[in-house]
């Protein structure tokens, strides 16, 4: 991701936009300022919004005005940038009603796989960006991949992928 991070500063808007969108797939905060600028300049606002949702785990309802969205995400960024992706995930899962002690401990710096059961629950969230964040985190923790979570993932695929992750977790525990 280091090379993509450098490309976000490329003078070509097309290159920089593509790099920021690529970083967003991995929830890399380095993309946020550029994605906000994409909204401000009305360049691919739907893609920029989706990328910001996948990083921030914040959605601003049916708001469609790119300038207002840029202001909303800009405000979120100013308030939240120091918290980082783990705490953004904790906030989103907590707001979704699924927080537990292992998740909080992980978000505050504990390493290890004690957070996996919380992430498995999050894979069944109604919010695509929470599922995506849980999926990306599970990939890092368990070293596997079962598919792509995005706004268009069907309920059947959501269930299939969650089941696959649960099977991977059970196998890692020797069950």
Distance CA 168, CA 28 (A): 25
Q: What percent of the chain has pLDDT over 90?
A: 82
Domain extents for the chain? 2-80, 84-172
Amino acid 175: pLDDT? 67
What is the Cα–Cα distance from 4 to 46, expressed in whole angstroms? 21
pLDDT digits (tens, 9 = 90+) for 61-99: 888 899 999 999 999 999 999 999 999 999 999 988 876
pLDDT(145) > 90? yes
The whole-number pLDDT of residue 110 equals: 87
Q: Is the pLDDT of residue 47 over 80?
A: yes
Q: In the chain, pLDDT over 70 holds for what percent of residues?
A: 98
pLDDT at 63: 86
């Amino acid at each position: 991701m280091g090379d993509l991070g450098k490309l976000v500063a490329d003078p070509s808007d097309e290159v920089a936009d593509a790099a920021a969108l690529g970083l967003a797939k991995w929830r890399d905060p380095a993309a946020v300022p550029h994605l906000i600028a994409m909204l401000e300049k009305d360049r691919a606002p739907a893609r920029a919004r989706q990328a910001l949702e996948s990083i921030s785990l914040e959605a601003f309802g049916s708001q469609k005005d790119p300038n207002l969205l840029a202001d909303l995400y800009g405000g979120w960024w100013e308030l939240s940038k120091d918290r980082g992706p783990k705490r953004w995930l904790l906030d989103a899962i907590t707001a979704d009603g699924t927080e537990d002690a292992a998740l909080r401990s992980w978000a505050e710096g504990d390493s290890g796989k004690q957070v996996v059961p919380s992430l498995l629950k999050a894979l069944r969230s109604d919010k695509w960006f929470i599922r995506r964040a849980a999926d990306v985190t599970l990939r890092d923790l368990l070293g596997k991949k079962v598919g792509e979570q995005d706004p268009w993932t069907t309920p059947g695929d959501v269930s299939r992928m969650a089941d696959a992750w649960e099977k991977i977790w059970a196998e890692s525990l020797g069950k």
